[in-house]
Amino acid sequence: MKVIFTREARQDLADIARYISVHNPVRARSYVEELRTACLEIGAMPNAFECMDGSDISEIRRRIFAPYAIFYRVEKAGINVVRIIHGAKDYLQILERQQKPDN
């Protein structure tokens, strides 16, 4: 299946690269490429990863790529990568806030 990155997911990748590059610019480039590849691999096995619990996010699945989590939806048009969030963050709150229609 085709994998599509939302604007927020693309920004997440840029932010991750920027954060890692402060300490190791070479690793930042290779790590973000590995993370992006993990996102693209979801297209071959979209239902292999767990569905999130919660009324506002139940249609979102999560793939762990430590220390980050890739959040995505399986849609008719393909895989929609919604966000890529560090596991130490309150990702439930971030995702629920993003799902609100007024945001």
Domains of the chain: 3-99 (3.30.2310.20)
Mean pLDDT across the chain, nearest whole number? 90
Alpha-carbon Rg for the chain in angstroms: 13
What's the confidence (pLDDT) of residue 97? 80
Given the structure tokens 């992006």, which residue do they identify? 36
Query: CA-CA distance, 36 to 9, in Å (whole number)?
Result: 10
Give the model's confidence band at 103: pLDDT under 50 very low, under 70 low, under 90 confident, else very high.
very low
Which residues lie below 8 Å from residue 3, measured CB to CB, with a gap of 6+?
39, 40, 42, 43, 78, 79, 81
Which pTM was predicted?
Answer: 0.89
* Listed range (29-38, 55-64, 73-82) with the worst mean pLDDT: 55-64
| 39-50 tens-digit pLDDT | 999 999 999 998
Phi-psi label, residue 78: left if phi above 0, alpha if psi -120 to 50, beta otherwise: left
Q: How many Cβ atoms from other residues are within 10 Å of residue 25's Cβ?
A: 10
Quick one: which of 26, 29, 7 has its CA closest to 16?
Answer: 29
Mean predicted confidence (pLDDT) in 57-85: 93
What's the confidence (pLDDT) of residue 27? 94
What's the confidence (pLDDT) of residue 94? 86
Q: Evaluate if residue 102 carries a pLDDT over 60.
A: no
Q: Evaluate if residue 5 carries a pLDDT over 90.
A: yes
